[in-house]
A and B are shown apart, each in its own frame.
Chain A
Amino acid sequence: MSRLSPVEEPVQATGIVKRYGQRTVLDRVSLTVHPGITGLVGPNGAGKSTLVKAILGLVRLAEGDVRVFGLDPRREPHAVRRNVGVVPEDECSVPGLSGVEMVRYAAQLSGIPGIESLRRAHEVLDWCDAGQERYRPVETLSVGMKQKISFAAAIVHDPRMVILDEPTNGLDPIERRAMLGRLTTLARDHGKTILVSTHVLPDVQSICERVIVLADGRVRLTGSIRELTQPTIPEERLEVIGPVDELVRRLIARGIPARRARPLELFPSAAGADGRSSATVETVTPGDGAHEGVVLLQLTAPDALATMWSEVHQLGIRVRSLKASSRPFEEVFLEALQAAQASPTESLHAAP
């Protein structure tokens, strides 16, 4: 009989402090990991790995309390780890084992008995698209394949929560997309809690529902991605093909606040560390002489939408999409880090 509480949050940390000698790695960290996909981001040395170790009960905390599904990982590490799967960032293997033997070994160590562990290992490897490579010794596999094996080993025992450290490391774009898809499937279709520690911020923005930003051992930012990336002033994002600048001019003339999107707002990943664009982004599409671009506008007035459609129609503009605008998460992240540097002891923002 499982003693795990079904109503408890997957992870609840309260004021945890971890020191290595004189160095404080986690400084009064309090956070909650909710069901769904949560991103754990932060610069190197922020304390992410130590937080994961605390969740698994591998380190002794100086202060504070961690609960995983209502259990104390230090007191009941086996019960906790039976319900958690971990994909570590470092390559790890048992030398001499093939891919499928490795996943089977992980299944057996997690309590899946006998031949069932082999069946389950093959099933999960099939789902991870491991192919025939599974029969080769792990140490001879490519980085991407090792990542798949590691992921398969983490989920083979059907844990309630999966913790992944840089899960898309070494994956090509197609595999990366497939991996993110698998994580989404696990969370959406199977109710798993996923905690992803990564530096790839677009990955966080694309799959995570919530995010926790750690810096210098403190939680600097936490909340849902939707809330954190919401602009201060609600804007709509209109992607069009046609005379963009003329449209902006006409909308402003009709009393609708509008502006053409800056390159950074279109391509967040092109931003440098200072938040400015480091790339030249041209939005002109020659050919029929039409311009392609994005207009950010505030449709707050009651008739603003009708006015906008009217102008678009008059100018013969083709609309590709219209959706609520959001700030790139990278911008939010960098703001959080800048605020952390300016005020080391304060959290920038703590959305629910």
Chain B
Amino acid sequence: MPLHDVGYRPWQGRRSGSLAAILVIASTGIKLAWTSRWLRRAVFFAWSPALVFAGSFFVFEQAIDEGRLGSIQDRALVGRNVDGVGILGRVIAESLGQSDAPPPGQHETPEEETYRTRRAVWSRLMLAFMRSPQAILLAIVVGLVAPALVSRDLRAKAWLIYFTRPVGKFEYVTGKLLILGLLVASITMLPALALWLAGVAVSPSIWVAVTTWDLPVRIIVASLALAIPTVFMALAYSSLTAESRIASFAWFATWAACWIAHASLTTADVMQREHEEILMSENAQSADPSNAADGGFSGEDAPGRPSRSNVRPMGPGGDIGEKLSDLLEGRRPRNGPPFNVRQFRWISRATGIDDTIDRWAWISPYHSLGVIQAWVFGIERRWQAIFPPLLSLGLVSIVSALVLWWRVDAPARV
């Protein structure tokens, strides 16, 4: 008998309620998940892209501070890299190139121009940050943690521990959602908010925080938009099997298969479009043989205005001609992304630079989430682009939630 054995004693203290049970489930789940070395590495790694993006904020704010915004914009208009930090320079350049300029004839003060370009650049940088590294890391981190959350409880019959105590399905599911929600927040929302703070810190004035006050709100909403469907889907997979390996496989297979399906369908679209452009080019050449010699620069975008949007030159010479023309006129083809973006289709889609409507986005969770996040950041405003992914993610969330609700206490009912 232990020396301090005081025997059985009644306990008359005040009991906490359901909220405490939810927090206990969440904190214990995080503690157990955190024992995984891979998870710790993934979360640590998830913060590293923020350093690169912070550099971009610094370069941009430095340019504003030194009055070089005009030169940046000039360079952006011809699609050149502006800061030497790689692809993020293109994000800044394209943001400046695409930022909503005032209507012709309307005067814009330097302060207004700075305000407009800052919002455009910051929004795109944030979107790029949340889309490119963070969304992918999110899939990995959720894939490391979520499959075991319910399936391991089913395997170890831990449901007997929960449902024989004052813990209902609501507390159990909410606790599990909170585990993933906090992890997702730690790799998406918190680094993004830290990035915004870093941007404010490197800007010339603290008033930048006021002019970009909505960005933290958008970051939180975008993080929620990212977290809700992914977390529900991951937990639904976990609840369908007592083998966490199967749930893990299903999770990663879903992301990969949907990505491949999206890529295949999008590529098919691009090929079809290029085929149509070639046909149109051939038709144009046959209709006006005098234009054939100059690479086919004869398409009319609007009356009196030359365009290369629908007419793609044949061969390398023609492509260079198109690029030069784009550079000189600072315009993009009407029905497609700018030429430099074609080389970086993935990042351009991620940052909303490529403004063609991704009609297959609803097939892939990653691409659907991208569209919704672009909407949250005010970059995508077209309902025909937003609605299908919104519907797709909404359905995934609802079905996953129903499956989860039905499955978590299934063993207790039989």
Contacts and interface: CB of A to CB of B under 8 A. Distances in A.
B158 A94 contact: yes
Given A53-B412, A157-B11, A158-B11, A108 B24 contact: yes
Contacts of A153: 161
Interface residues on A, range: 35 or more
B179 to A, nearest CB: 13
A90 B13 contact: no
B166 A88 contact: no
Nearest to A80: B166
Interface string A153-177: 1010110000000000000000000
Interface in A172-224: 182, 185-186, 189-190
Interface of B is mostly: loop
A126 interface: yes
Contacts of A93: 156-158, 161
B206 interface: no
Contact of B6 (A90, A106, A123, A131): A123
Nearest to B35: A96
Contact of B160 (A78, A90, A124, A185): A90
A53 B17 CA distance: 23
Given A58-B413, A110-B15, A126 B157 contact: no
B161 A106 contact: yes
Question: A96, A97, A182, A189: which has the most chain B beta carbons within 10 Å?
Answer: A96
A77 interface: yes
A88 B161 CA distance: 9
A113 B16 CA distance: 6
B153 interface: yes
B18 A127 contact: no
A88 B158 CA distance: 11
A77 B14 CA distance: 19
A86 interface: yes
A58 B4 contact: no
B4 A126 contact: yes
A48 to B, nearest CB: 15
B15 A82 contact: yes
B201 interface: no
Interface in A71-87: 77-79, 81-82, 84-86
Interface in A32-91: 53, 56, 58-60, 77-79, 81-82, 84-86, 88, 90-91
Question: B16, B153, B161: which has the most chain A beta carbons within 10 Å?
Answer: B161
A92 B15 contact: no
Interface in B1-22: 1-2, 4-18, 20-21
B168 interface: yes
Interface string A124-142: 1011010100000001000
Nearest to A108: B24
A190 B8 contact: yes
A112 B14 CA distance: 7
Contact of B166 (A59, A82, A95, A189): A82
A186 B263 CA distance: 66
A227 interface: no
A109 interface: yes
B367 to A, nearest CB: 36
Interface in A93-107: 93-97, 105-106
A116 interface: yes
B8 A186 contact: yes
Contacts of B339: none
Question: B15, B160, B413: which has the most chain A beta carbons within 10 Å?
Answer: B160
B16 A111 contact: yes
Question: A93, A111, A126, A186: which has the most chain B beta carbons within 10 Å?
Answer: A111
Nearest to B165: A109
A333 B158 CA distance: 33
A327 interface: no
B163 interface: yes
Interface string B140-176: 0000000000001100111111111111100000000
B28 A94 contact: yes
A78 B8 CA distance: 24
Contacts of A95: 32, 152, 156, 158
A112 B15 contact: yes
> 4 closest Cβ contacts across the A-B interface?
A111-B15, A92-B157, A78-B166, A158-B11
26 contacts: A58-B163, A58-B164, A59-B413, A60-B413, A77-B168, A81-B166, A85-B164, A88-B160, A93-B157, A93-B161, A94-B153, A94-B158, A95-B152, A95-B158, A96-B35, A105-B24, A110-B166, A112-B11, A112-B13, A113-B13, A120-B11, A123-B6, A157-B165, A158-B12, A182-B8, A186-B8
Interface of A: 20, 53, 56, 58-60, 77-79, 81-82, 84-86, 88, 90-97, 105-106, 108-113, 116, 120, 123-124, 126-127, 129, 131, 139, 153, 155, 157-158, 182, 185-186, 189-190
